[in-house]
Amino acid sequence: MKIAILGGTGPEGAGLALRWALAGHEVIIGSRQAERAKAKAAELSERAKGATIVGMANREAAAAGAVVVLALPAAGLAATLPDVKEACRGKTVVSTVVPLTFGGPRLHTPPPAGSAAEEAQAHLGPEANVVAAFHHIAAHELASEHSIDCDLLICGDDAAAKATVADLGKSMGLRVLDIGPLTNAGPIEGIAALLATINRRYKIKNSGIKITGL
Ligand SMILES: NC(=O)c1ccc[n+]([C@@H]2O[C@H](COP(=O)([O-])OP(=O)(O)OC[C@H]3O[C@@H](n4cnc5c(N)ncnc54)[C@H](OP(=O)(O)O)[C@@H]3O)[C@@H](O)[C@H]2O)c1
């Protein structure tokens, strides 16, 4: 699969890129600046010898990818997505975005749409198939060399898009749980805010979740 990761220069996108490249996928790192994307792609290629990882500006990356992953801060969605709307038409778009506000009274700060994933869907229009996923897979875990000890919860409104994302999760060794429509993205993103709080309180970088009872 050819996967474009917008904001792939950050720790979450770079970690996903590394895992997918090692699993045999072609990865395109996207950035607001093509040079930064190329530099990150070169750095990751050193860790994934023989893999295909290239860098491009976000718009070109979105156009080149079969799947487009949003790995940028929630504050960047409004500025980034109108520019890639056309390129995302008919594609699976994965939102890893957690709407957090640091230093204020409330860490989890969902937008009026209900969740960052629903905001992304609104910016991209109904032709893009947005799936919310990977919020609970810490960048620190992705960058490690051991297997990831966490379940992957995904939600979205298009069954085929969810199946594609489930395959991407399984390709990095994760157990995947479909938790329904995109309106469930708010709770998924909220749990990621809880994990961020746990990380800070317990001075760790990689808390995660596993569902019991299955
Ligand atoms: N870090 C984690 O462990 C983790 C875990 C789960 C989910 N997430 C979520 O995944 C997303 C990415 O996390 P991250 O830690 O990698 O984030 P980050 O480092 O803050 O940002 C990732 C990339 O987004 C681009 N960016 C930054 N501000 C932007 C803006 N205003 N508009 C457009 N692009 C912007 C930057 O790339 P360029 O400057 O190259 O364009 C940056 O390298 C976030 O929404 C986060 O909540 C993170």
Across the range 140-169, mean pLDDT stands at 97
Any residues with Cβ below 6 Å from ligand 1, and which?
A: 7, 9-13, 31-33, 36, 71-76, 79-80, 96-98, 100, 135, 138-139, 192
* Residue-level pLDDT at 119: 98
* Residue-level pLDDT at 193: 97
Query: Measured in angstroms, how far is the CA atom of residue 166 from the centroid of ligand 1?
Result: 22
Does the domain at 2-201 match CATH 3.40.50.300? Answer given as no
SS (H, E, C) the chain: CEEEEECCCCHHHHHHHHHHHHCCCEEEEEECCHHHHHHHHHHHHHHCCCCCEEEEEHHHHHHHCCEEEECCCHHHHHHHHHHHHHHHCCCEEEECCCCECCCCCCCECCCCCCCHHHHHHHHHCCCCEEEECCCCCCHHHHHCCCCCCCEEEEEECCHHHHHHHHHHHHHCCCEEEECCCHHHHHHHHHHHHHHHHHHHHCCCCCCCCCCCCC
Q: Which atom of ligand 1 is nearest to the CA of 76?
A: 32
* Residue-level pLDDT at 157: 98
* Residue-level pLDDT at 183: 98
* Residue-level pLDDT at 79: 98
Q: List, in order, residues 6 or more apart from 213 with CB less than 8 Å away.
A: none
The rounded percent of the chain whose pLDDT value lies above 70 is 100
Pocket test for ligand 1, best of 6, 9, 12 (most atoms within 8 A of CB): 12
Each residue of 84-111: pLDDT tens digit? 999 999 999 999 999 999 999 999 999 9
Residue whose CA is closest, atom 48 of ligand 1? 12
| Global model pTM greater than 0.85 | yes
Sort strands 2-6 and 26-31 into parallel, antiparallel or unpaired.
Answer: parallel
Pocket test for ligand 1, best of 9, 72, 137, 152 (most atoms within 8 A of CB): 72
Q: Which residues of 172-191 are buried (b: 16+ CB within 10 A; e: fewer)?
A: bebebbbbeebebbbebbbb
Domain-wise residue ranges, the chain: 2-201
Residue whose CA is closest, atom 29 of ligand 1? 76
* Residue-level pLDDT at 122: 98
Query: Measured in angstroms, how far is the CA atom of residue 43 from the centroid of ligand 1?
Result: 18
